[in-house]
Amino acid sequence: MILSKQHLILNSKNSQLLSFLYKRRSAMSTSGVNKIFENSLKLPSLPVPTLTQTIDKYIKTVTPFLTESELKNTSRLLNEFSSAGGLGEKLQKLLVERAQNRENWLEEWWLNTSYLEYRDPVVIFSSPGLVFPFEEFKYEIDRLKYTAKLILAAVQYYLNIWNDKLPVDKMGKDPLDMNQYKKIFGTCRIPKPHRDTLEFNPNSKHIIIVKNNNYYRLDVLNETGDTPSLHELINQLTVIAEDSVDSSSPIGVLTADNRDNWSRAYEELIKDPTNEASVREIQNSLFLVALDKPMPVENDSRRSMASKQFIHGGGSKGNSANRWFDKTVQFIIGEDGTVGLTYEHSPSEGQPIAAMTDFLIDHIRNANASNLQATLKTAPKKLHFNINDAIQRYIQTANANIDKLASNLDMDSFQFTSFGKEFVKSQKLSPDSFIQIAMQYAFYRIHKTPGAHYESAATRKYIHGRTETIRSCSIESIAFSKTMLDSNKSVHDKITALREAIQSHKKYSIEAVNGFGVDRHLLGLKLIALENNVQLPELFEDKAYKLSGRMRISTSQVATKCDGFMCYAPLTPDGYGCCYNPRPCDINFGVSAFADHPDTSAKRFREALEDSLRDMRDVLVAGQPAKL
Ligand code: COA
């Protein structure tokens, strides 16, 4: 592994530097390593759709939300905007110029506006949880053994990334950009007023273990690539477990607070050199491992409880302080065998994290298959913090805030076992679109109104690509929902409406993964106007824009082979979060809502979704010719 000792801060000015650094690393390699990242840099640039492409699509996506006269008004605004010599033409020209001068015209804007400038806490508002297959730990030593295996598997994965041993992800035949993988380990978000930054420390050799709010540094690599043996790691984890019986000050809860609060607390915290040194150890580490205490007792299923543990940790009486939420990856190991992770979303999408998860699960189950040079002797170093009165007050505020957030998250995560994607494929339909349309139907049958619906589509066919929005609520999805709920409609009518809704969704998905959705282009037009002090087009004030962008159903497919699933909170106070993992014969769902909203309930959505999926299967089966 050939890495230069770099400590890189990514902000809006130097995101280009990052890709330069990657190129440089590749160029430094004598054995042709890091080819996958070099190849990623050869991918095409994200296209800028034409105004006509976006506007034609946009008008269709807003139609379900508008009355006839509102639709007429929106059409008029869009005509004005896109007419020859109009504001749209001017902004489009500026956007195309920007795209000509960058590898990816959206990358820096997206990172800043969606993540680093966003001031709400990363907990609930941004960071997902990922629940691994459950384990059973009878004794503490079982948990420590599992943790040691997990650590070694993660170190192996880190080495695979940097030694060019990852298979290149593909969409069909197209290779995908692999750069997000490089940001999984060694990355940390740093709180700053107005806009946070990201720091990358890919040469790091240590990890952090946290238990009862006590943080320990543990070396897991040396310069020659040696790692501790499994036995050595278990011994050191035992030392940590015995040393951390008493709880320390809940300093980690500060990272769960609003970013402006946290940035002020951070300034105060690092004034003290001991604190600063401890914080740096955490920030520079490869990843963090949290050994949790039991979660506060609730009446939830194990999957829902695990979702809460990995999204927010259970509040100040639970494990919310036993974290450092700015760290990209924190593995979490509960006493009862609930295992998983939480990740800070800004450097990576869920799919690379899911691919890593499958590797870890395989590796843990075959721990003997490791090819690490397991000869490193290691010993934990406890990190110390001095807490003054000002920090104490910040902690109190952060405790109160996380308690409010945690108690307001309603989860109903479940495994749908009636069928999986193989059944849908057997009907010659896209499984992803089938599930999306089931969510549309579920929302409609509960609320009797169209639900604006966000699905992430990966745009990693393009250099540094992240996502585009698939607007899953369509004229066809609403027509389908109404048809299903109409007892006068025949099976044939229902099947026709179902296939039309699914095909319309699939068409949008294909356009979105190719960079031709509407949301990123509209965002680009808006931001280029702001950057150039050009008056904001009226369409951004229009009801159509507001209603169709108020995503009451926030969804993404995050696929793992193992029995895991990702989960996160809704995007709107009256909305749902619904992340899913379609597997051959079942589908895992992480469903969320906010407890304080009278119109929504995770349980109700789960029930409606299960009913919708089964209803859809039943009409398809009913429409099949009977076998003789
Ligand atoms: N008949 C039979 N089979 C079909 C079919 C049809 N009409 N349509 C699709 N299939 C098959 C596909 O060939 C594929 O087969 P495979 O499992 O052998 O590969 C399978 O069904 C799945 O395809 P589909 O369900 O259509 O969707 P997808 O897997 O292509 O996923 C997206 C679609 C949009 C989810 C995906 O492109 C994507 O962007 N994923 C990333 C999402 C993301 O960013 N998540 C993280 C956010 S944090």
From 288, 274, 371, 357, select the one nearest 322 (Cα to Cα): 288
Same domain for 422 and 384: no
Distance 430 CA to ligand 1 centre (A): 7
What are 39-72's pLDDT values in tens digits? 888 999 999 999 999 999 999 999 999 999 999 9
Same domain for 612 and 540: yes
Kindly state whether residue 174 falls inside one of the protein's structural domains: no
Which helix or strand (DSSP H or E) is residue 246 part of? none
Same domain for 428 and 396: no
Q: Which residue has the tokens 């006269």?
A: 69
CA-to-CA distance for 351 and 353, rounded, in angstroms? 5
pLDDT lower than 50: segments of the chain: 1-33
Same domain for 139 and 109: no
What confidence score (pLDDT) does residue 577 get? 98
From 561, 328, 576, select the one nearest 452 (Cα to Cα): 576
CA-to-CA distance for 336 and 293, rounded, in angstroms? 9
Last residue of a domain, one of 407, 425, 444: 407
Does residue 431 line the site of ligand 1, with CB under 6 A? Answer: yes
For 218, the 3-state DSSP assignment is: strand
What confidence score (pLDDT) does residue 519 get? 98
Number of domains in the chain: 2
Kindly state whether residue 486 falls inside one of the protein's structural domains: yes
What confidence score (pLDDT) does residue 26 get? 35
Q: Which residue has the tokens 């405790």?
A: 399
Q: Which residue has the tokens 């800004």?
A: 346
Same domain for 243 and 332: yes
Same domain for 387 and 480: no
Residue nearest to atom 9 of ligand 1 (CA): 430
Does residue 590 line the site of ligand 1, with CB under 6 A? Answer: no
User: In the beta sheet, which residues pair with residue 130?
Assistant: 341, 566
Same domain for 430 and 397: no
Q: Identity (one letter) of the amino acid at 518?
A: V
Collect contacts of 156-160 with beta carbons under 8 A, ≥24 apart. Answer: 156/363, 156/370, 156/371, 156/372, 157/356, 157/359, 157/360, 157/363, 158/184, 158/185, 158/286, 159/1, 159/225, 159/372, 160/359
From 263, 269, 282, select the one nearest 389 (Cα to Cα): 269
Let me know: does 209 contact 289? Beta carbons within 8 Å.
yes
Q: Which of 194, 231, 312, 345 is catalytic?
A: 345
For 214, the 3-state DSSP assignment is: strand
Kindly state whether residue 299 falls inside one of the protein's structural domains: yes
Structure tokens at 609: 């979704």
Domain around 367: 121-154+192-349+362-407
Q: Which residue has the tokens 């009226």?
A: 538
Last residue of a domain, one of 371, 389, 407: 407
Kindly state whether residue 162 falls inside one of the protein's structural domains: no
Residues 6+ apart with CB under 8 A from 270: 276, 279
Distance of alpha carbon 203 from its chain centroid, rounded? 24
Same domain for 583 and 454: yes
Query: Terminal CA-to-CA distance of the chain, rounded, Å?
Result: 63
Last residue of a domain, one of 387, 407, 427: 407
Kindly state whether residue 139 falls inside one of the protein's structural domains: yes
Kindly state whether residue 614 falls inside one of the protein's structural domains: yes
CA-to-CA distance for 43 and 40, rounded, in angstroms? 5
Average predicted confidence (pLDDT) for the chain: 93
Kindly state whether residue 186 falls inside one of the protein's structural domains: no
CATH for 236: 3.30.559.70
CA-to-CA distance for 437 and 450, rounded, in angstroms? 12
Strands 565-567 and 576-582: unpaired
Residues 6+ apart with CB under 8 A from 600: 410, 570, 574, 575, 576, 593, 594
CATH for 91: 3.30.559.10
CA-to-CA distance for 409 and 32, rounded, in angstroms? 48
Same domain for 271 and 368: yes
Distance 135 CA to ligand 1 centre (A): 29
CA-to-CA distance for 473 and 481, rounded, in angstroms? 11
Same domain for 564 and 427: yes
Does residue 424 line the site of ligand 1, with CB under 6 A? Answer: no
Residues in the chain: 628
Q: Is 345 a catalytic residue?
A: yes
Distance 390 CA to ligand 1 centre (A): 51
Q: Identity (one letter) of the amino acid at 406?
A: A
Structure tokens at 136: 């059973």
Kindly state whether residue 172 falls inside one of the protein's structural domains: no
Same domain for 578 and 490: yes
What confidence score (pLDDT) does residue 24 get? 32
Same domain for 58 and 202: no
CA-to-CA distance for 84 and 74, rounded, in angstroms? 18
Distance 172 CA to ligand 1 centre (A): 9
Q: Which residue has the tokens 């087009």?
A: 537
